[in-house]
Amino acid sequence: MPVFKVAVLEGDGIGPEIIGSALRVLQKVGELAKVDFSFEKALIGGSAIDQKGTPLPQETIELCLSADAVLLGAVGGPKWDDLPTEKRPEKGLLGIRKALDLYANLRPAKVYEPLISSSPLKDEVVRGTDFIVIRELTGDVYYGEPRGIFVEEGRRVGINTMRYTEDEIRRVVRKSFEIAMRRKKKLTSVDKSNVLEVSGLWRSVVEEEAKNYPDVELEHLYVDNCAMQIVRRPSSFDVIVTGNIFGDILSDEAAVITGSLGMLPSASLGDRYALYEPVHGSAPDIAGKGIANPIATILSAGMMLRHSLGLTREADLLERAVEEVLKEGYRTPDIYSAGSTKVNTEGMTSAIIRKLEELWQG
């Protein structure tokens, strides 16, 4: 029986609750698929600060480096807001991304038919939307040098440097083409090559890589136009690849049009390692109440099955189970509407497990 080692970083706030739901679902997947998961927990974020004095202990890094994949809940909360920036919980997340060299951030944007009325867009515009924004995660203005606030001729000057190497661009573009090949075979590359030399290099590398994937339809959009087209024609996109700062903005826009932040998973991929986490935060205001929506974390676990563990059928069935449960009207408080069935975290998790069993047997 195959054994997959998963590093589990519960984090803060509702992290332990939603991670608990995902582990229950994964255990059921293992039972049905005849595979074994070895879950090993470690600290990150505020809980690590409280117990170890640092948001990212060395033993957490070592565990993640030895695992087949990493599943993370959420980090942060007002308890740690007064700490210096370099010691805050969020530094743990940035640190683990760097330690694992996770350069491709995948943010799916899927509009579920049962929740279509939650989108701020008209039903006929948003219906059928199902695309992924792939954001380069380790370069661009967030990491380029020089950076900082300096004094020149008695005046303060703020500097951030937009910088990409050819290799940094090529690896995320190549991964995006590969993912597009497994989906609808359409890739949209987003840049600002009409004014930025960095984007000129970006577009050139994309064109070079496209020759290796002749079956993928390639579209180039300037970032401002892409932002508009995501609102005008979201269902026309399949895979969008772009740099760090543009991806930061566009993935948040994509999340909003789905209408349900609590439904959205994410994956951060490298060549060897990968980390999976929900898009939403730690929600300390509802922590411990048992009402958090576990779906984003469960779907993140589904992405782990697909991208890291090669369990494609299992991932497909898990995603179908979530959609079927929504069609049956089950809702946690954050997505509840009149006429649906309100359930807590445990109730939603149990419903998804039940549906997964039904689909597996069917």
CA-closest candidate to residue 275, choices 260, 297, 242: 297
CA-closest candidate to residue 189, choices 241, 234, 231, 134: 241
Tokens at 276, concatenated: 């999976």
Whole-angstrom CA distances from 53 to 41, 46, 89, 100, 279 are 18, 9, 11, 21, 26
3-state per-residue secondary structure call for 213-240? CCCCEEEEEEHHHHHHHHHHCHHHCCEE
Tokens at 280, concatenated: 């939403």
Cα angle 103, 109, 114 (rounded to 5 degrees) comes to 155
345 close to 128: Cβ distance less than 8 angstroms: no
Tokens 């005008």 identify what position?
232
Strand partners, 221: 190
C-alpha span between 128 and 307 (Å, rounded): 23
C-alpha span between 56 and 274 (Å, rounded): 17
CA-closest candidate to residue 300, choices 126, 106, 168, 158: 106
Write down the catalytic residue from 36, 50, 123, 252.
Answer: 252
Residue 153 buriedness (CB in 10 A; 0-12 / 13-18 / 19+): exposed
Write down the catalytic residue from 110, 248, 276, 330.
Answer: 248
140 as an active site residue: the answer is no
Whole-angstrom CA distances from 237 to 213, 221, 226, 234 are 18, 12, 10, 6
Kindly tell me the sign of the dihedral angle through the C-alpha atoms of 332, 109, 319, 66.
negative
Write down the catalytic residue from 224, 271, 285, 289.
Answer: 224
142 as an active site residue: the answer is yes
Write down the catalytic residue from 5, 101, 130, 142.
Answer: 142
Please confirm whether the linkage preceding 57 is cis (ω < 30° from 0).
no
252 as an active site residue: the answer is yes
CA-closest candidate to residue 274, choices 157, 92, 99: 99
The residues that are catalytic are 142, 192, 224, 248, 252
